[in-house]
Structure 1
């Protein structure tokens, strides 16, 4: 069985054919999906998907949507996490250094969510763009005990090791399928068997050969095949290892 450890199936991109997307995922061998929250006003949609047997959910405040977040959102997040004990992680949270004008506010919001996760013993799902070293430093300082996932990892072997040493795993998705991602591919080849999970970030992060198309969870099977080739392993081995790691990270229900 494969697990898509990060997909945004609550997004409106899937409103027209969500059931067909689930069906294609099942047909591709994807038996479980993890759906993270991004903004407060959409948490209800994420939680509704969590009512499905094959879906686990996270709740968080995403740095890409800073304009949508309000001052009481962290308090609301704490209340939502307490009200929904089945939530498997806090996220998607993190830092996106492409947006320099909101970077200070991003760090304040990230720190607040790190503390929430630490206090509740929850793993984190972290969005980290152009900030691997800085985020690793902050995680080292706050030391969240349950670790988490560095989603859509695109860094070096050394940066991957730094996150692994902190108790995190890295998420491998569409980026690994692109030939130009040489540094990332070296990192993938060097990862320990229990150091990664597979993901799609649907509807985003398209795979090579699918530029401009909506991504979807069924394509995690293709990510698995590419990762297997980079690691000199069989797809069955990569599926088994990544599924075991997702279960260890997010709980035995996966």
Structure 2
């Protein structure tokens, strides 16, 4: 099992991240990706440390999440942070992310778009995929992809849109990340989209926890964890009629293709 989106670097895991990974490994987790959210004082240093210290293969994405676009952070600062991180020999990011646009926060959309566009352009220059965050902003993300003429594909994280939106992203070369939402009875629209993608484009499905956020059904109010990724697989298997083993293999194969990795790469 591969968790394609897990924020192991965040504070809820600060005290016990090693134990979490050992438990996840026992549950069958074989690999995970830690997306960047904020460069902090040293560019993504904790993410880099975790990747070097983990008992499992860890892939890194680097980027600035819209939640962390502070008033004093300029687009040029983000580029400078990215260039500094990429200049380190021990860092080999597989994507730029988590980046995107959020319609539920106070940060002006123009600032969000300016910061998003420079990160998309950086990914284009480095020929890397991107990991996109969305909240009520699909139309604006499509505008940004068109404006930047981005062609590198990537992942739409925590996808919860319609079949039509899913198809539009797939047409642009994106994979769709499915997580805890599909374990809830109220997630009917996302389940409908999942069924469509599984039937028409199974090669575009990724699974994720978004830990410590997006907890599964029955774990509301708890810290989400990569050790629970099997619950996402079980939910997809139940909804599609496929075996858990088939979903595991499908999503793992898709992960390697999405990020240009081999199954043996660390």
Task: Provide the TM-score with structure 1 as the length reference.
Answer: 0.94
Residue ranges of structure 2 left out of the alignment (5+ in a row): none
Do 1:78 and 1:116's aligned partners in 2 also have CA atoms closer than 8 Å? Answer: no
- Hey, what's the Cα distance between the residues in 2 that align with 1:160 and 1:232? 21
Aligned pairs, how many? 253
1:88 corresponding residue in structure 2: 94
Do 2:36 and 2:62's aligned partners in 1 also have CA atoms closer than 8 Å? Answer: yes
Deviation at 1:115, TM superposition (A): 0.3
1:129 corresponding residue in structure 2: 135
Deviation at 1:162, TM superposition (A): 0.7
Q: Does 1:154 align with 2:160?
A: yes
- Hey, what's the Cα distance between the residues in 1 that align with 2:120 and 2:249? 30
Deviation at 1:102, TM superposition (A): 2.2
State the Cα RMSD in Å.
1.6
Do 2:213 and 2:224's aligned partners in 1 also have CA atoms closer than 8 Å? Answer: yes
Aligned partner (choices 78, 83, 93) of residue 83 of structure 2: 78
1:165 corresponding residue in structure 2: 171
Classify 1:131/1:31 alpha carbon distance in 2 versus 1 (closer, same or farther; 3 Å): same
- Hey, what's the Cα distance between the residues in 1 that align with 2:137 and 2:57? 32
Describe the SS at the equivalent of 2:5: coil
2:9 corresponding residue in structure 1: 10
**1:13-37 Cα deviation digits (max 9, x unpaired):** 1122111100111111110010011
Deviation at 1:234, TM superposition (A): 1.1
Q: Does 1:59 align with 2:62?
A: yes
1:49 corresponding residue in structure 2: 50
- Hey, what's the Cα distance between the residues in 2 that align with 1:238 and 1:143? 33
- Hey, what's the Cα distance between the residues in 2 that align with 1:68 and 1:149? 27
1:19 corresponding residue in structure 2: 18
Alignment of 1:168-187 (within 5 A): 168-187=174-193
Deviation at 1:59, TM superposition (A): 0.7
Aligned partner (choices 217, 223, 246) of residue 237 of structure 1: 246
**1:65-97 Cα deviation digits (max 9, x unpaired):** 122762222222133224355111111110111
Do 1:59 and 1:81's aligned partners in 2 also have CA atoms closer than 8 Å? Answer: no
Describe the SS at the equivalent of 2:23: helix
